A and B are shown apart, each in its own frame.
Chain A
Amino acid sequence: MSGTALRSNDLALGLIGTLAVILLWETSVRTGLIDPAVFPSPSLAIAAASERLTARQLGENLSWSLARVFSGFALGALAGVLVGVLAGWYRRFGLVVSPLVELLRPIPPLAWIPLAIIWFGLGEPSKFFIIFLGAFFPVVTAAYQGMRSVDPMLLRAGQTMGLSGVPLLLRVAIPAAAPDLATGLRIGWGLSFGVLVAAELIAADRGLGYMIIAERNAGGSVGVIIVGILLIGALNLLTDAAIGVAIRHWVGRWHGS
């Protein structure tokens, strides 16, 4: 996204468009165009959800999901930054690590689920691992690329100021790679989130993903499923927007020519 701020015109139009669609949805169900049992309107969905779920249940599932994705992402991103930065800075390390990462990268995180279960059993650690992977690969790639494309002139400038080795890495190379790193982190978060939901659908007993599929398995209300889906979507959007704001503040200020 470019750094231009949203103009109020655009915001208004966006709002109108969204409201229009919601209205359309609502009315087509009420007029019977769409079967409410199959695809309930927003109002029906929320009503059903408030019947079937207590706030406590929702809160519990939500916290589980958030805790999982935060911790998995945090560790995956940290590992990704460490490995990527070191691989980009120290050529030998990079030569060893790079082929391994490139080999494993094309394998989607979800494809690791059975192996994760083999390694860690059916509990939390396996889900944590998958989310970790979801964050790790985009971040390590971005970190590596970022380091490799640091302007050599900046490094020379740092050297003329008496910096070398680790201080040069920390004070010049890493800030210079920050824009790429930031993008990698943002992508990694999005992926972690998507992976979280899938992992919870496939093999979990708590969390938002689980909540949705449990409802379906229990033959319950479609409304709950829809509310769950929308909630996940909204969470994803909000967190991504928050990251975007943070990036614009820390990086957008000075990046670009």
Chain B
Amino acid sequence: MNARLARAASSLAVIAVLLAAWELAVGYGLLKAYQFPPPSKIARGFVELSLTGFPTGVSLWTHTGVTIWRVLQGYVAAILLAVPLGLLIGALPVLDKLSAPLIVFCRSVATLSLLPLVIVWFGAGELTKVVLIGYGCFWTMLSNVIAGVRYVDPVLVRAARSCGLQGPELYREIVLPAALPRIFAGARMALGVGFMVIVGAEMIGTIQGLGALIMEARTFYRSEITIVGMLVIGLLGFLISSGLAGLERVLMPWAGNLDQVRR
């Protein structure tokens, strides 16, 4: 425990020193305030963003809410589709083999490259962004659900078989629970993907949302607002992934740490 506290303390110290040095550097003219807005300016920007908003009237919380809402819609839709489909494909090896190259390919398509196409289909509105996020999340989630089901430890399956389980019962009682850690890992990854997609998607053709915020701010030379936006995005991403990791631990206390899961 002591070691952890010490590390945390030294990390904070490093960051504090960096911030202080930064502030001084700008103060002494070593760094340009426009390119490297000092922490004090960033803090003021944060306050402005929270209260007055940028553009005026659209507060930080509105932007954040819009972004989260978009991600949520796409993400949930993707999960709802991917899980049953993945469970089905995973259950039937033939289906898996038939669909494997296709799934791998669709996953390899850079989600954002679909933006122009989706705009042609659905215009430049909300639906476009949700569809895009949904696409990105879907294939990641699908791959992981399938993998989770397919790569259940054969020892477990054998043990279950020798207890007389087979077929759908085996699938339900043994394979599904054993696949859960991987499925959750997939859910976490998918959210990460969705998050990355939305940031990019919001940089074109919209003025609300965190991605839009940081782009707009640049156009008006408000670099400190851009940085606030970036930090909020980072914080959001961090909270989401640790939140999900925590949820995983609560729901599946028996599972080990799967941060090392390789594809």
Q: Which residues of A contact B (CB under 8 A)?
A: 1, 9-10, 13-18, 20-21, 38-39, 95-96, 98-100, 102-115, 117-119, 183, 193-194, 196-198, 201-202, 208-209, 212-213, 215-216, 222, 225-226, 228-230, 232-234, 236-237, 240
Contacts and interface: CB of A to CB of B under 8 A. Distances in A.
A17 B10 CA distance: 55
Interface of B: 7, 10-12, 14-15, 18, 34-35, 94, 97-102, 104-106, 108-117, 119-121, 195-196, 199-200, 203-204, 210-211, 214-215, 217-218, 223, 226-227, 229-231, 233-235, 237-238, 241, 262-263
- Centre residue among B11, B223, B235 by max chain A CB count within 10 A: B11
Given A115-B223, A236-B109, A202 B120 contact: no
Contact of B203 (A104, A110, A197, A230): A110
Contacts of B112: 194, 197-198, 201, 209
Contacts of B106: 233
B109 A232 contact: yes
A152 B18 CA distance: 33
Given A113-B215, A209-B113, A229-B117, A17 B108 contact: no
28 contacts: A1-B263, A13-B98, A14-B98, A14-B100, A14-B101, A18-B105, A95-B10, A99-B15, A103-B15, A106-B234, A106-B241, A107-B237, A114-B215, A115-B227, A118-B226, A194-B196, A197-B110, A201-B115, A201-B200, A201-B204, A209-B112, A213-B115, A215-B116, A225-B117, A232-B109, A233-B105, A234-B105, A237-B108
Given A10-B97, A232-B110, A18 B115 contact: no
Contacts of A226: 117
A99 B10 CA distance: 9
A108 B113 contact: no
B244 to A, nearest CB: 13
A208 B109 CA distance: 13
A228 B196 CA distance: 21
A98 B150 CA distance: 37
A78 to B, nearest CB: 23
